[in-house]
Amino acid sequence: MTKADLIVGIQWGDEGKGKIVDMLSQNYDLVCRSGGGHNAGHTIWVNGVKYALHLIPSGILHPNIINIIGNGVVVNPEALIEEMSQFENLQGRFYISDRAHLNLTHHSLIDQAKERLKGDKAIGTTGKGIGPAYADKISRTGHRVGELLNPKELSENLISDFESNRAYLDALGVKIPSKDELYQKLSSFKEALEPYIADTTQILWSAMDENKKILLEGAQGTLLDIDHGTYPYVTSSNTISAGACTGLGLSPKSIGNVIGILKAYTTRVGNGAFPTQDSGKDGDTMCEVGKEYGTTTGRRRRCGWLDAVAVRYASRLNGVDSYALMKLDVLDGFKSVKICKAYKYKGEIIDYMPSNLDEVTPIYEELDGWDSISGIRNYDDLPQNAKIYIKRIEELTGVRVSIISTSPERSDTILR
């Protein structure tokens, strides 16, 4: 029986997972998404054309690959249907788990209202309803994709839910739809999505029994994990490799090679601690050159230097076998580059990531920069200083860099 390989982001998301999944997926039979919702955004450039994916796995750009949205994903039907409209002939190569939970309009409205009420203590969510959808799932009051197949019963159950929570919804200013309005909307979802709703766990198990090659992709990054990230400024799901098992119905023994996606610097969207953030000229340069604006929201990302302490922590959590180092070309032209190799924390020097980063000060190591690596496809052709930077990342984190991206284009990639 074959094992499934896994792609996982090991920073605060936005590491460039989409390009790597797209590039590697041509060697696989199935590509599967295990968690998150349409708050995620994978940007892929192919022959100068930009594709922005939010729910659909990145393997969709290859017509011979089966793509699966697993049970751990929260699915917004409207967003998914709009995204599906970009592609033709999805029948037979795209499936949605009937166990995945629904993320509906009221979830987004609750999300946005709660963020407004928090004021300057807001988490900085995308407002897409991800947290409220997962909250309903955990409190056992949620509804699953399979329920779309009976829109009459689902609309009745949702109206009953709304009535039970009327005081809460009224306090947040969330408008409750009429039963007829809700039924019509859910019926349209059924019509569009019914051919793709399936027991995806059985599809995966059958594929493994047949020794098909399977690639798993998560959403966001390790430091946004609900348990192991920088809580409470995190997402609402498990973004680490273990989450791929629960989010798709696989055992830990089913996981094969784990590739950690690592940006050559660090970015973060929303609020929360960010020890290596650079609020000056260097951070601005990374943002503009790297086009660091959210695929989903368009928000500017906070930028800073590579945090090797956090990366080492994330790599251990995920059991990372090797790195794909992304956006190395964004650091072209810097006179020097920095890596955070340790923290100063409560008067001590530490080499691990504590549960609270608010009192952490980064300790940097400075290396000489390089002119340009943009578009290079052979490791030997890289400038010596770029090779030194890569080697230092490996030394500080204990993981080898096996893939290096030198531009957004699929083909501008070095395999070591």
Concatenating the DSSP letter of every residue in 239-287 gives -SHHHHHHTTT--GGGEEEEEEEEESSEEE-SSS--TTB--SHHHHHHH
Paired residues of 52 in beta bridges = 43
Mean pLDDT, consecutive 10-residue segments, the chain of 416 residues? 93 89 89 91 73 86 93 97 90 97 93 80 77 95 98 96 90 89 97 98 97 92 96 93 96 96 95 95 96 80 97 98 97 98 96 94 98 96 98 98 93 93
For 126, list phi and psi in degrees, rounded to 5: -80, -10
256 labelled as ligand-binding? Answer: no
Q: CB under 8 Å to 140, separation ≥6 — which residues?
A: none
Burial class (CB in 10 A: 0-12, 13-18, 19+), 358: exposed
Please give the Cα distance from 55 to 49 (Å, whole number). 19
Q: Where are the beta strands (DSSP E) in 159-221?
A: 197-198, 214-217
Closest to 248 in 3D by CA, of 61, 30, 76 = 30
pTM: 0.91
329 labelled as ligand-binding? Answer: yes
At 394 the pLDDT is 98
85 labelled as ligand-binding? Answer: no
335 labelled as ligand-binding? Answer: no
Output the six-digit token pair for 81.
Answer: 């249907």
At 270 the pLDDT is 82
At 385 the pLDDT is 98
Q: How many residues does the chain have?
A: 416
131 labelled as ligand-binding? Answer: no
At 400 the pLDDT is 98
14 labelled as ligand-binding? Answer: yes
Neighbour-count burial for 11-31, b at 16+ CB within 10 Å, e otherwise: bbbbbbbbbbbbbbbeebbbb
At 49 the pLDDT is 74
Residues designated as active site:
14, 42, 137
At 124 the pLDDT is 67
Please give the Cα distance from 275 to 304 (Å, whole number). 9
140 labelled as ligand-binding? Answer: yes
At 295 the pLDDT is 66
260 labelled as ligand-binding? Answer: no
SS3 129: coil
407 labelled as ligand-binding? Answer: yes
At 296 the pLDDT is 65
Q: Compute, in degrees rounded to 10, the torsion defined by CA atoms 134, 4, 378, 41.
A: -20
